[in-house]
Amino acid sequence: MANEPISEVQSGRRRVVELFLGGGLLASFLSFVYPVIRYLVPPPVADLGGDEVVAAKVGELKANGSKIFRFGSRPGLLLLNAAGDYIALSATCTHLSCTVQYRADLHQVWCACHNGLYDLNGRNIAGPPPRPLEAFQVHIRGDEIVVSRKRGA
Amino acid sequence: MLTRIRNWLDERFGLAELTAPLREKTVPIHSRSYWYFLGGITLFLFGIQVCTGILLLLYYRASASEAFESVQYIMTRVQFGWLVRSIHSWAANLMIFTAIAHMFSVLFLKAYRKPRELTWVSGMILLFLAMGFGFSGYLLPWNTLAFFATKVGTEIAGQVPFVGHQMMVFLRGGEEVTGATLTRFFGFHVAVLPGITTLLILLHVALIQRFGMSVPPDVEAKWKADPAQAREMHFFPNFLLRELMAWYIALGVLGALAALKPWDLGTKADPFAPAPAGIRPEWYFMFMFQTLKLIPAKIWFVDGELVGILVFGLAGLIWLLLPFFERERNGRSSRWILGLGVFALAYMASMTVYGYVAK
């Protein structure tokens, strides 16, 4: 039986059966894989920060001092320069996302990971960072220092 | 008694037949036979990792609020916990070291040649997996160094054109490195990677068993000219006993390192603290880290780090497929591969040293 030659009609039928079988297996396989792939993509997290945050209280920072504050889910850097002005920058290095720090000795912003340097306006001036740090707006409201994203940025 | 058990098994399973290949396996003896030990030592260290890893699992908790404290608990309260964790960390580093040494020995002794191309490829994938083990395991204590290393590492994955961002989100379990990243890395480290690695080790060893031990070309030529010079020993028990001796020495070195230089835990990760000065990755990523530090911000309109990442990616791919670039034995392509190997070793060694010396 197994060795009998098959006619053209039979082989045509066989091809149809193979197509259905293969297609069905493939479809069922895809239906297993699809939920797995969707499962692997994490659900989005709501950004709790909004566009404005209280970074510090007035008087909290000394001249030539700095602090890291939470801006949504990312860190921001608030510093008080020698002239007494507050400056707020994104603290996420534009190179590979380490958190930068203010170097009071250099009067510059420094990233310890790969030795990147920024000036107080956030401009990348040395090392590997390809872009400047995002600068935020600073308002003083009562005794609170409020940092907000620049409009249209 | 033992003979009776063996006879009982032999009668049912044909044990003698099953173990025949092991008894017939031989290992060539020549001046560079010592390099044959490195793969076995790497395998032994992997076994240590499995055992100590299971022990650590009994106390470790994979969440951002508990991971650091649970490792602290292992190191301070659990009896010999410090030793188990220390051995796990040291063996991980030694394993990567012996795997890299094994890789270069195979390269320089030309053991990657036909018919062993796939043995090389499976070995290279195993080395990449070992680095994946290192990278994912590094985060698990949830300390500051690990936090930033993971941030940078996953950011690098995110720089890959087209699929980078999805890859980064997949690795981090979100847009940022958070507790979700820790949970994922834990899953990779204790389930995904061990499963794949075990299968690949079986394949790697089966391929070695199939092709036998490679003999360096100059020795092979000499033996061919005068077959009387060819010398070999039985794998079982002659080579295995020597290998066991090497394992015992490796265990001694490991125990001494773990006891005399217990692995640091550092400080708990704070996502809202700046990266500490002097931050650096594990030594086997150092040459890439130092290169990324030196690359300028822009290379001809393209971000410098992107160029670096693409070059390293390409180099890794070429390395993986190295045996296929050798067209003829002892020809030009063969000399190129030798030159490339020497260059890679020199580059990795000098950049690593530079990374540790440079501020």
Instruction: Write the pLDDT tens digit of every residue in B8-54.
Output: 988 998 888 888 888 888 899 998 889 999 999 999 999 999 999 99
Rg of chain B taking only CA atoms, in angstroms: 23
Exposed e or buried b for every residue in B305-314, given b needs 16+ CB within 10 A?
A: bbebbeeeee
Q: Which is more confident, B261 or A6?
A: B261
Give the residue from A49, A125, A51, A59 showing the smallest Cα distance to A86.
Answer: A59
Residue A81, pLDDT > 80, answer: yes
**Residue A153: its pLDDT value, please?**
47
Task: Using CA coordinates, name the residue in chain B closest to A125.
Answer: B297
Q: Report the C-alpha gap between B81 and B83 in whole angstroms.
A: 5
Residues of B in contact with A45 (CB under 8 A): 174-175
| CB nearest to B297's CB, from A40, A69, A124 | A124
A48 interfaces chain B, CB cutoff of 8 Å = no
Neighbours of A114 (CB within 10 A): 22
Q: DSSP letters of B140-168? A: TT-BHHHHHHHHHHHHHHHTSTTTHHHHH
Q: Report the C-alpha gap between B357 and B278 in whole angstroms.
A: 11
Q: DSSP letters of B305-332? A: HHHHHHHHHHHHHHHHTGGGG--STTSH
Check: CB of residue B343 under 8 Å from CB of residue B351: no
pLDDT, average across residues B329-357: 91
Residue B181, pLDDT > 80, answer: yes
Residue A49, pLDDT > 60, answer: no
In chain B, count of helices (H) and strands (E)?
16, 4
Tell me, what amino acid is at A17?
Answer: V
Check: CB of residue B94 under 8 Å from CB of residue B263: no
DSSP type of residue B252: H
Q: How confident is the model at residue B183 (pLDDT cuts 50, 70, 90)?
A: very high
Residue written as tokens 């890794």?
Answer: B316
**CA torsion, points B66, B69, B75, B81, in degrees to nearest 10?**
-20
| Inter-chain residue contact B151 with A96, CB threshold 8 Å | yes
Distances (CA, A) of B246 to B19, B123, B242: 24, 21, 6
| Inter-chain residue contact A100 with B295, CB threshold 8 Å | no
What's the whole-model pTM score? Answer: 0.89
- For the domain covering B32-212+234-268+279-357, report its CATH number: 1.20.810.10
Task: Using CA coordinates, name the residue in chain B closest to A111.
Answer: B275
Residue B248, pLDDT > 50, answer: yes
**Residue B1: its pLDDT value, please?**
87
Q: Report the C-alpha gap between A77 and B15 in whole angstroms.
A: 70
| Inter-chain residue contact B274 with A115, CB threshold 8 Å | no
| CB nearest to B173's CB, from A42, A98, A128 | A42
| Inter-chain residue contact B151 with A98, CB threshold 8 Å | yes
Residue B171 pairs in a beta bridge with none
Q: DSSP letters of A99-149? A: BPEEETTTTEEEETTTTEEE-TT--EEESS--SPPPEEEEEEETTEEEEEP
- Helix, strand or coil, per DSSP, at residue A48: coil
